[in-house]
Amino acid sequence: MSLRGLLAGLEIPILQSPMLGASDGALALAVSEAGAMGALAAAGLAPDEIGPAVATLRAASDRPFSVNLLIVPRVAPEPAEVDAALARLAPWYAELGLEPPAAPNQFAPDFDAQFAAVLAAAPPVASFAFDVLAPARVKALQAAGTLVIGTATSVAEARAWAAAGADGICAQGAEAGGHRGTFLAEGEGSVVATLALVPAVLAAVDLPVIAAGGIMDGRGVAAALTLGAAAAQMGTAFLLSDEATVSAPWRAAIEGAGDDPTRLTRAFTGRYARGIENRFMREMRALEGEVPAYPVQNRLTQPMRAAALAAGDAQMMSLWAGQGVRQAEAGPAGELVRRWWAEAKIAAQVVAQRTGA
Ligand SMILES: Cc1cc2nc3c(=O)[nH]c(=O)nc-3n(C[C@H](O)[C@H](O)[C@H](O)COP(=O)(O)O)c2cc1C
């Protein structure tokens, strides 16, 4: 089946964002069972955990789901770069009563092994962010029966995924929570809002486009479809759902978010990501240009974030969330999805009345 066919066949054209650290198979299952499409964020899984996680989802449901990986290179940073990064973090570790960690040997799971595990598990859909796959890898997935979605934050990135043979593009607008998928030029051109990005990508590639970023309810879903997207992808909107694996301090930050709560930062991980602004983001602002690129900084701040979580201190944790976070609602994910679809139908009627259609 084509991706266009799969998305057109969904009862509800909503895709749950894969959310590393905020979701697991239970959210994916609830969303797929409601008639939309759930996603398993597999980037944090060891390669040998991926097959069983996919098998569990497949056993629990006949509905389609996707598996997501982050394309992260194997890195061997200079010891001096790691030492400087740890020195920068030392005051934060000291506040938590900790020494900075020793320089690690490995900074991220082995992407090649994770990729091999996804290929072997052959989920219905696999999505990728942070880079573009080699065409041979896209072909291998397709030969195994897996449709491939590539994440793009610019038209150039969408073209790169189309050239690699992807089945569809997830167009990630600037509003989106969590990491930017950017892998070509970083700058204003990689933080385009969803309303502008989706039509631009649609004009550039002959593939189904999934709109992501800032879609928080049925009005947003209807807007995405009106723009020509084949489906709406939603992440932040699920963060307060019963199935989300969001920690208590993170949840409290979402519930207490002010009027303009999120900012992009690279201070936590070395890659731009959107989260609720806290003290670490503010005070590291002047230094964030100096921190080592993902995954090095990500690995070096992990023990800090874990200790802050253990202490219930949201000021040193990454509180990933998108610009729409104030609209996040609690409840079972399946109910949220069905409600958004009902709202989308009403929104479409409002437009139809106004246009006399
Ligand atoms: C907490 C959180 C974690 C995320 N983790 C991932 C991930 O593991 N892989 C990925 O491709 N995108 C990830 N994203 C980005 C989403 O795929 C998507 O672009 C985003 O949720 C859309 O914007 P929204 O949050 O405004 O709905 C994450 C987003 C959030 C909020």
> Span 111-140, mean pLDDT?
98
Query: What's CA 198's distance to the chain center, in Å?
Result: 17
User: In this structure, are residues 262 and 325 in contact, taking their beta carbons and an 8 Å threshold?
Assistant: yes
- For residue 269, give every residue at least 6 positions away whose Cβ sits within 8 Å of its Cβ, in sequence order, or none: 179, 294, 295, 297, 298, 301, 318
CATH code reported for the domain at 3-72+109-261+321-355: 3.20.20.70
- For residue 128, give every residue at least 6 positions away whose Cβ sits within 8 Å of its Cβ, in sequence order, or none: 68, 69, 70, 71, 148, 149, 150, 151
Based on its alpha-carbon atoms, the radius of gyration of the chain, rounded to whole angstroms, reads 20
pLDDT of residue 90: 98
Cα separation of 52 and 47, whole Å?
Answer: 10
pLDDT of residue 342: 98
> Span 191-219, mean pLDDT?
98
* 178 CA → ligand 1 middle, Å: 5
Q: Is 175 in the pocket of ligand 1 (CB under 6 A)?
A: yes
**Ligand 1, from 19, 128, 157: best to mutate by most atoms within 8 Å of Cβ?**
19
Q: How far, CA to CA in Å, does 50 sit from each of 83, 109, 145, 347? A: 33, 12, 17, 39
Tens of pLDDT, residues 55-89: 999 999 999 999 999 999 999 999 999 999 999 99
Model-level pTM greater than 0.85? yes
Question: Which residue's C-alpha comes closest to atom 9 of ligand 1?
Answer: 18
Residue written as tokens 């879903």?
221
- Intervals of CATH 3.20.20.70 along the chain: 3-72+109-261+321-355
**Ligand 1, from 16, 17, 233: best to mutate by most atoms within 8 Å of Cβ?**
17
Q: Is 100 in the pocket of ligand 1 (CB under 6 A)?
A: no
> Span 327-352, mean pLDDT?
98
Cα separation of 69 and 109, whole Å?
Answer: 11
> Cis link prior to 295 (omega < 30° from 0)?
yes
User: In this structure, are residues 232 and 337 in contact, taking their beta carbons and an 8 Å threshold?
Assistant: no
Looking at the CA of residue 237, tell me the nearest atom of ligand 1: 27
Q: Is the pLDDT of residue 215 over 90?
A: yes
Q: Is the pLDDT of residue 315 over 90?
A: yes
Looking at the CA of residue 44, tell me the nearest atom of ligand 1: 8
* 212 CA → ligand 1 middle, Å: 9
pLDDT of residue 273: 98
Instruction: Give me 10's structure tokens.
Output: 């969904």
Give 357's pLDDT tier (boundaries 50, 70, 90): confident
Q: Is 212 in the pocket of ligand 1 (CB under 6 A)?
A: yes
Strand, coil or helix: what is 300? helix
> Helix/strand/coil (H, E, C) string of 85-150?
HHHHHHHHHHHCCCCCCCCCCCCCCCHHHHHHHHHHHCCCEEEEECCCCCHHHHHHHHHCCCEEEE
**In terms of Cα–Cα distance, which of 345, 18, 347 is closest to 176?**
18
Looking at the CA of residue 41, tell me the nearest atom of ligand 1: 8
pLDDT of residue 206: 98
